Amino acid sequence: MTAEIISDITSSLVLDDVLASVARRTAEVLDLWECDIYDYRAGEQCTVALALWAREPHAADGDWVGSTHTLVEQPSFARALGECRMIENRIDDPALPDVERRRMEFWNEQSCLLVPLVFKDEAIGCLELVEKRHARHFGTEERELAVTMAALAAVAIQNARLYGDVEHLAITDGLTGLYNHRYFYDRLAQEVARAQRYDLPLSLLMIDIDDFKAYNDRSGHRAGDALLRQLGVVLRSQMRRQIDLVARYGGEEFAVILPSTGVAGAARAGQRLRDAVNKGGLAGGDSDAAHAVGERIRSSVAGQTFGTTERPPVITVSVGVASLPEHATTADALVDQADAALYRAKRFGKNRVEVERVGTGAVAGPDAG
């Protein structure tokens, strides 16, 4: 085992990178046809395919990653994981169970060695070492090397997972589970730079719960916290997954970053969406209408039942909309202009969406930090 291999496996804290390195390095050092890595979910009695390295990649490999397999379908995996010991299967073994023989014949496997990934005396996953070129008998030294690779892999994978958990906690709001103020500004700066580089529209919504202080005074702070959590769920439900970003800006104020979304054509699309919401359904968003998204959020909140009392209070929000490049040229200015639109919505009666006036925020301000 060279220091280079150890360094390669343990150098990254990004889980996908760790998995790819483990699969490749294990296959190389043991001269294997293929190495697969599985996550073990004991509570669900299944494995989930996490990574694969093969000498001859197949077009279906990408679909295979992420697939779930019950242990009922994989008795050898069940034994390896349940007993935390290696299991070797060979196609030329007359005692090989029929279910395993069928599986190996289907995948054209001649030999496979299952090595559990053990962390603190608990199986967290499994390496499947596959040989398709010939029926291979894994010797003592090869088995010891496989155990060493599995031990290194288990530690590296667990460290990557722990790092991911810590990183997630650092960028999320503890009450609502939304992104926090700091991460919001980091992402907004990135999205502004991207929008300017590729000449793309970008919009920002600032959202504030109307009369939240009165609600807190009347219902108590625990009810107020519950309301904030519920609103977080509503906001997430209205966004495009893996595209838009929802954050708790502070207190009862929220922010939504809408990449590739402009302000033009907003009124007509917003009315159409509002009508759809009032009829009980949510229409798809107009990619060129930030106002429409804001109106959809406002209407959705107004139609929700918050609280558990017999006569739940009516909860509404006001929304301010600003877009780049119409209203601002920097992240800081975009926030200022969306805030200005929000306060105008408050002044004009609340429970409404206001778009910042074109040209009022074009003067560059200092970059957000």
DSSP result, 13-25: --HHHHHHHHHHH
| Cis geometry, peptide bond prior to residue 325 (ω within 30 degrees of 0) | yes
Rounded-to-10 torsion of CA 351, 357, 362, 365: -30
CA distance 325 to 91: 65
Strand order in the sheet with 202-209: 245-250, 253-259, 202-209, 317-324, 353-355
CA distance 146 to 301: 55
CA distance 21 to 10: 9
Residue ranges in the chain assigned as alpha helix (H): 3-10, 15-29, 61-64, 75-83, 98-106, 140-171, 181-198, 212-219, 221-237, 266-278, 290-302, 331-347
* 56 is annotated as an active-site residue: no
CA distance 50 to 53: 11
Give Cβ neighbours of residue 240 (< 8 Å, ≥ 6 apart): 285
Type of residue found at 361: G
Phi-psi domain of 121 (left: phi exceeds 0; alpha: psi -120 through 50; beta: other): left
* Token pair in block for residue 275: 């009508």
Catalytic choice (252, 253, 354, 356): 252
CA distance 223 to 182: 26
Neighbours of 33 (CB within 10 A): 21
Measure CA 22 to chain center: 23
List, by residue number, the catalytic residues.
252
